[in-house]
Amino acid sequence: MDIGFVGLGNMGFPMAARLLEAGHPLVVFDTRPETVAAAVALGAQAATSPRDVADRSETVLASLPSVQASRDVATGPDGVIGGRRIKRFVDLSTVGAAAAQQIQALLAARGIAMLDSPVSGGVGGAAKGTLALMVSGPRPEYDLVEPVLSQLGTPFFVDTKSGAGQTMKLVNNLLAATALATTCEVVVMGVKAGLDPSVMIDVINAGSGATNASRDKFPKSILPRTFDYGFATGLMVKDVRLYLEEAEALGLPTEVASAVGRLWEQVMNEEGPESDFTSAIKPLEAAAGVVVDGRSDGPATS
C-alpha cells in the first residue's frame, strides 16, 4: 500500500523506517528538513507539505507532538484535508478524544475517513514494531489499514466511536505517569534512608511494586543517569492534562491524577518541556539532597 507519513520525530521516524523496510512506498513530510533527508536516505520520497503528501497518497499517517500540530496537519490551510488523493487519515499522535472528534468531523465533511490510533510502547517499541495501537473509527477503514498498523505493533480495535482510542491512550498514560512519578518518589526516599538504588530496583522488580518504570525506565535511563529514554517531559504533561480534562468533563474525582499532574508540572517548570521525562527524579533528588546513581562507583548522596 502506498502510504504518506507526516511527523518523523522520536516515534514517527522509526515507524516510517519500519514501513519502508516492509516495502511500502512512502511519501514523507516534517517541518525539520534533516529528518526528511534521513527518511529519503532510507528510500522515502520527500513532500513539501502535508497537503502534498495527501495529493500523492490514499492513506496518510501522522505522529505529531501537540494537539495544535495535529489540527494544522489534518485541517489547516496546508493540511491533508486539501489533498487530491487521500481517502483516510490515521493519527498516531496523542491528542485527546475531543480534538480527535473535531478533526474527524472536519475531514468527514470532505469525504476523508479518520482513524485515531494513538500508540504506546515508546521509542524502543516503535523501532522493534512492538507498539500497542489503540484504534477507533470506521471498522471497514480499520480492516483496510490493519496490515499496515501490524508492521508497527499490535493494533487493538477499541470502538467505532471517534476518540475512543484516545481515551484508552490517556488512561494508559496516566498509569505510566503515575508509576514513574511514584517510583521516583519512593526510590529517592529509600536512598535518603540509606538504601542502594540498584538493589531497590532489583527488589521492586522481583516483588509486587514492579511496573514498566522500574523494569525499563530506571535501568535504562535513571540509574545510569543518561536521561535519554526518548519521551519529552512536555509530552507527558500534555497527556496528563488531557486525561484531567476528560475526567473532569465526565464529573469524576481526580485525587490521584491531580497530584500526579502537579508533580509533572513541577518537573516541566524545573527541567523544561524538552527534557527527557525520566528527569522527573531530579526535582525530588534536589528536595531530598540525594542523587540516585546506579553506576557502581557513583555517589549515593550529595
Query: For residue 86, what is the enclosing H or E element?
Result: none
Site for ligand NAD in 155-174 (CB under 6 A): none
Residues 29, 22: Cα–Cα separation, whole Å? 19
Site for ligand NAD in 24-83 (CB under 6 A): 29-32, 35, 63-65, 69, 72-73
Give me the least distance between CB of 19 and ligand NAD, in Å please.
15
For residue 221, what is its C-alpha cell? 535511563
Give the residue, chosen from 230, 233, 240, 257, that forms a contact with ligand NAD under the rule CB under 6 A.
230
Q: What is the maximum span of the chain, computed from C-alpha positions, in angstroms? A: 64
Give me the least distance between CB of 56 and ligand NAD, in Å please.
15
Give the residue, chosen from 3, 4, 5, 7, that forms a contact with ligand NAD under the rule CB under 6 A.
7
CA angle 218, 219, 222 (to 5 degrees): 45
DSSP code, position 215: I
Q: Which residues does the annotation mark as catalytic? A: 169
Name the residue nearer to ligand NAD (CB basis): 61 or 184. 61
Give me the least distance between CB of 3 and ligand NAD, in Å please.
16
Contact between residue 119 and residue 132 where contact means Cβ atoms under 8 Å apart: yes
Contact between residue 30 and residue 65 where contact means Cβ atoms under 8 Å apart: no
Give me the least distance between CB of 289 and ligand NAD, in Å please.
31
Number of residues binding to ligand NAD, judged by CB under 6 A: 27
Give me the least distance between CB of 231 and ligand NAD, in Å please.
4
Interaction of residue 280 with ligand NAD, rule CB under 6 A: no
For residue 272, which phi and psi values (nearest 5 degrees)? 90, 150
Query: Rounded to a whole number, what is the distance in angstroms from the first to the last CA of the chain?
Result: 56
Interaction of residue 279 with ligand NAD, rule CB under 6 A: no
Interaction of residue 240 with ligand NAD, rule CB under 6 A: no
Name the residue nearer to ligand NAD (CB basis): 38 or 189. 38
Left, alpha or beta for 122 (phi > 0: left; psi -120 to 50: alpha)?
A: left
Reported in sequence order, the residue ranges of 102-214 that DSSP labels E, i.e. its strands, are: 113-116, 119-120, 131-136, 153-159
Would you call 61 helix, strand, or coil by DSSP? strand
Name the residue nearer to ligand NAD (CB basis): 49 or 183. 49
Contact between residue 51 and residue 82 where contact means Cβ atoms under 8 Å apart: yes
Question: Would you give the binding string for ligand NAD spanning residues 242-261, x where CB under 6 A is met?
Answer: --------------------
Interaction of residue 177 with ligand NAD, rule CB under 6 A: no
- Upper half-sphere CA count for residue 123 (Cβ side, 13 Å): 14
Interaction of residue 6 with ligand NAD, rule CB under 6 A: yes
Residue numbers of the site for ligand NAD (CB under 6 A)? 6-12, 29-32, 35, 63-65, 69, 72-73, 93-94, 119-120, 122-123, 230-231, 235
